[in-house]
Amino acid sequence: MNRRAQLSALLALPMLWLIGIYIFSLVMLLVTAFWVTDPFTSKVKPGFTLRNFEQIIANPAYATTSLRTLGIALAVTALSILISVPLGIFMAKVASPKLRAILAVAITLPLWAGYLVKILAMRITFTEDGFFNSMLGPLGISGPGFSIVTVVLTLTYLWLPYMAVPVYTAIRQLPPNLFDASSDLGAGAGFTIRTVVLPLIKPAIIAGSIFTFSLSLGDYIAAKFVGGSTQMIGSIIASNINLNPPIAAAYSLVPIAFVVIYLVSVQRTGALERM
C-alpha cells in the first residue's frame, strides 16, 4: 500500500463518523430551526422562516428559562470548584495514601452508577419525608424539597467528578517543593493557596468547568425529577421534540451559543491546550 492508501484506511472510519453522523446531525439541527410546522397537521415542512426564532424571542418564558439554565450551570460550576479545590488539596497534601485511595474511589463513584440511579438517589434524599428532612427536621432545618436548589445540588453531584479529578491531578503534579518554598518564605497555608496553588491549577479548573458547565446546560432529567416546577432549556426542548421540532431545534441553539461563548472566553487562558 502506498502512503495515500494507508492514510485513507486509517481515517476512513473516524471521518465517516465525524462527517456522516456528527457534523451532519448538527447541520440538520441548524437547518431544521428554519423549517416550518403546518399548524393543522403538525407536519414539518422544509422551507425558510425566521418565525421559530421570533417566537423564542417574543415569548419571555424562553428568555427566563435560558437565564435560569445559565444560572444553574454557573452555580453548579462554582459549587464544584468550591468543593474540588479544598478536597484536592486535602487528598494530595494531607491524606494518607490509604485515605487518598478511598476518597478517589468515592469521588469517581458517581461515574460508575447509572444516571437514573443517581437521580433516584437524590429524589429519595430530598423528598418530603426523605432522609434530609427526617435527619435534620428535629434540628428545625427543612430541606429544599424539589426546587431549583435541589437541581443545582443534583447536577453538582452528577458532574463533580469531572471537576474534582482534573483539579486533584493538577494539585498532585505541583512540585512539593513549591509548598515548602512558600512556607519557607513566610507564607501561611491560605496565602500559599491563593498565590501559588490557585494560579497554577487554573487550567485544570477551567478544563473541569467546561464539563460541569456544558453538561449542566444540556440537562433536563434532573429538573424533571427533583426540580419541582423548575424548567430548564432542556425541559422545553424535550416537550417540543414531537410537537414542534423546528422550535425545539431553534431553542437548541441557545445552549450551544452559551457553550461557544464560554469556550471562546476561556480559550485565551490557554487552558484548552492542556485538556
The residue range among 112-120, 124-132, 163-171, 195-203 that interacts with another protein, by the rule CB under 8 A, is 195-203
Q: Is 184 in the site for another protein (CB under 8 A)?
A: yes
d(CA 128, CA 19) in angstroms, rounded, equals 48
Nearer to another protein, 138 or 186 (CB): 186
Nearer to another protein, 85 or 149 (CB): 85
Choose which of 25, 59, 142, 183 interacts with another protein (CB under 8 A).
Answer: 183
d(CA 39, CA 196) in angstroms, rounded, equals 61
Q: Is 95 in the site for another protein (CB under 8 A)?
A: no
Q: How far is the CB of 201 from another protein (least distance, A)?
A: 10
Choose which of 21, 61, 181, 275 interacts with another protein (CB under 8 A).
Answer: 181
Nearer to another protein, 108 or 195 (CB): 195
Residues in the chain: 275
Neighbours of 161 (CB within 10 A): 20
Choose which of 104, 187, 238, 263 interacts with another protein (CB under 8 A).
Answer: 187
Tell me how many residues contact another protein (CB under 8 A): 17
Choose which of 200, 215, 253, 272 interacts with another protein (CB under 8 A).
Answer: 200
CB 153 within 8 A of CB 144: yes
Three-class secondary structure assignment of 91-133:
HHHHCCHHHHHHHHHHHHHHHHCCHHHHHHHHHHHHCCCCHHH
d(CA 166, CA 50) in angstroms, rounded, equals 42
Q: How far is the CB of 202 from another protein (least distance, A)?
A: 9
CB contact burial 187-224 (16+ within 10 A = b; e otherwise)? beeeebbeebbeeebbbbbbbbbbbbbbbbbbbbbbbb
Nearer to another protein, 13 or 185 (CB): 185
Q: Is 177 in the site for another protein (CB under 8 A)?
A: yes
Q: Is 188 in the site for another protein (CB under 8 A)?
A: yes
Q: For residue 56, what is its C-alpha cell?
A: 423564542
Q: Which residues contact 45 (CB under 8 A, 6 or more apart)?
A: 35, 36, 37, 38
Binding site residues, another protein, CB under 8 A: 175, 177-178, 180-188, 191, 195-196, 199-200
